[in-house]
Structure 1
Amino acid sequence: MKWAEDDFDLPPGTYRLDLSQPVDDRTYVMYHGTTRACAEDIQKSGFQQSSDGMLGRGVYLSRDLQKASRYPIDHPEYDKVVIKVKVRVGKVIAINHQNHQFQKTWHNHGYDTAWVPPDCGMVPSGLEEDCVWDPARIEILKIINPT
Structure 2
Amino acid sequence: MGTVLVDDHVLLRILLDDEPDELRPLGAGLATTGLWYHRLCRALADQTVVGSMSRRLGSGDSAMAADVIAAVVDLPDNIELLTLRTLGWPMAELVRSGIRLNLLSLEALAAARYLEAEICLAAADQNRPLLEAAQVLSIPIRQLAS
* TM-score range for the pair, normalised by the shorter chain length: under 0.3
The structure with the greater share of residues assigned to helix is 2
Which is greater in Rg? 2
The structure with the greater share of residues assigned to strand is 1
